[in-house]
A and B are shown apart, each in its own frame.
Chain A
Amino acid sequence: MRAATRRFLLIYLTFVLVFLMLRTVIVPPTFGEFTDDYTYRWFRGDSVREIMQYDMKFATKEMCEQCHPEKVEFLNRGKHSTLSCETCHGPSMKHVENPTTYHPEIDTTRELCKLCHEFNPTRPEDFPQKFTDEHGYGLACVECHNPHSPWVFKRGVDNGQ
């Protein structure tokens, strides 16, 4: 073989070898460890163990129900039945661990309700999208609506007013 061809091949071979060496250093050892074909497991195996060490933040609706069954039952009968308690009350695991000392904070301004009920043309037309200037201007939503069941009203307001 001629010198040029031989040296050209040598450069390529070196390149491939350097790539393979780099690969052994860069790819984490536990990458794709949970299965043989890697399908849906395309991640570092250790990341699962690391995530398992994190403190839990959310308690789930079932946990809330153990102490507040009447609230959950009321919620389940209204339009907000599909929501989890923590959707509005925020992550509550700390409250479960220390029920007397820690209470989840809740945002009672219009901003929280806007997350779902601000007008947005991509939402279905029959979905309540009430953030026009006319509806309840200057008031917090919870001043009239009971957030656990929004069609139950406070302050003597009737449906439709």
Chain B
Amino acid sequence: MSEILWQVLQHVQGYIYPNEVEVNWSVLIALYPYITGLVAGAFIVASLERIFKVEAVKPTYRLALLTALAFLLCAPLPLVAHLGHPERALEIMMTPHLSSAMAGFGFVYAWYLMAVLLIELYFDYRKDIVMWSQEVGGIKGFIYKILTLGDYNISDEAVKADNKIVNIVTVIGLPSAAFLHGYVGFIFGSVKANHWWSSPLMPIIFLFSAMVSGIALVLLIYIVSSYIRGVELDRACTDTLANYLLYSYLLDLSLEFMELAHLFYTQEEGIDAIRVLITDKLFWTFIVIQVFLGTLVPIFLLIIARTGIFKFNVRKWIYIFVTTLTLIGVFAMRWNVVIGGQLISKTYLGYTTYIMPLFGPESLSLALAIWILPFIILAVLIKLLPPWEHPHEWEKTEAE
């Protein structure tokens, strides 16, 4: 018996089935919907500008797309690390099976990466790639030359045609992003035996919390990257993003409230166990972090910021604080769903305990490493494909 399992056994409460002692879906599985949610949320930020023509958020359009790509590339890593057999990772693609929602992931993922994000990014950047390929030399220039695919036509008609493709792909991409993340909620929501998970609202709740976390992430990256570049923040863009964060927060809050209200109103079997789960086992991560610090405090601060009583300089710090709280709060939500659902016994008479190892497989350190990786990828992507306005040499000199 492993050391951890033995420790957990000392903390088991009440009567549980033997196979429920160990929490099999660990911190990595909590990280997986978190990262996927950030992808979907970041893409929705990008589509604000493209589909809904919110011109104010234009400065974050490309940044949001690159963020989505960087996080999407890391989205399967928690799963692969959890399963421990990377060489088998592609088998779900090779032998697809419609009766398994899990097996659907490979296709949802591939569709989103290949048919949505890459196409949208490529045709949005094509004009710049062609220009960079003529300006820049060395390895970078060589990469740009390959990326042009040998077509250097950036006439007005060509750019117009590119834009048309991007618009079409964004329209396809929005439901795809919703599907990508709704699907993650679907996996949990369709576990009939677990009352903490089983709910048709689950995909929608996941989707809205994904929007919350994605907007917060893009806003935070925008503020921090502007600081690093020594550039003034675009006030309209920052405030508009914060407003959208507030709107999606309100929707998310009401959806989560509805789910809890439904749970307590219907008083289904196991409700007593869920009550203890919320008030005792998940008190800190649910009540304190997710609901209070991760939802109510940010909503309150965002409303205050919206009233305009603070100057932009103060608002900026409020936004930094709010987005950080949001990112922590949404992770707590994933944790409460994934880990929380496994702490409760199917007997409804007992609870197990999750002890997170610091090192080794399925550990905190591995989860942190996977969490940091997308930021490194994003830094490389930003270096290669700068998402900022006016990135060309001659435009710089003109501006000066």
**Interfacial residues, chain A to chain B (CB-CB below 8 A):** 2-5, 7-8, 11-12, 15, 19, 22-23, 26-27, 31-32, 38-39, 42, 120-124
Contacts and interface: CB of A to CB of B under 8 A. Distances in A.
B187 interface: no
Interface stretch (B16-24, B51-59, B203-211, B287-295): B16-24
B94 A7 contact: no
Interface stretch (B33-41, B77-85, B147-155, B265-273): B147-155
Contact of B119 (A8, A15, A22, A31): A8
Contact of B149 (A8, A38, A121, A122): A8
Given A3-B153, A122-B16, A27 B95 contact: yes
B18 A122 contact: yes
Interface of B: 9, 12, 15-18, 20-21, 93-95, 97, 99, 114, 119, 122, 126, 148-151, 153, 158, 161-162, 165
A7 B150 contact: yes
A4 B123 CA distance: 9
Nearest to A1: B161
Contacts, number: 52
Nearest to A19: B93
Given A8-B122, A121-B12, A122-B16, A3 B149 contact: yes
Contacts of B158: 2, 4
Contacts of A23: 94
A38 B97 contact: yes
Given A2-B161, A7-B150, A8-B119, A122 B94 contact: no
Contacts of A32: 95
Contacts of B162: 4
Contact of A4 (B9, B16, B153): B153
A124 to B, nearest CB: 8
Contact of B150 (A3, A12, A26, A27): A3
Contacts of B153: 2-4
Given A8-B149, A38-B97, 12 more contacts: A2-B153, A2-B161, A4-B126, A4-B153, A7-B150, A11-B149, A15-B114, A32-B95, A42-B97, A121-B12, A122-B12, A122-B15
Given A2-B153, A7-B150, A42-B97, A122 B161 contact: no
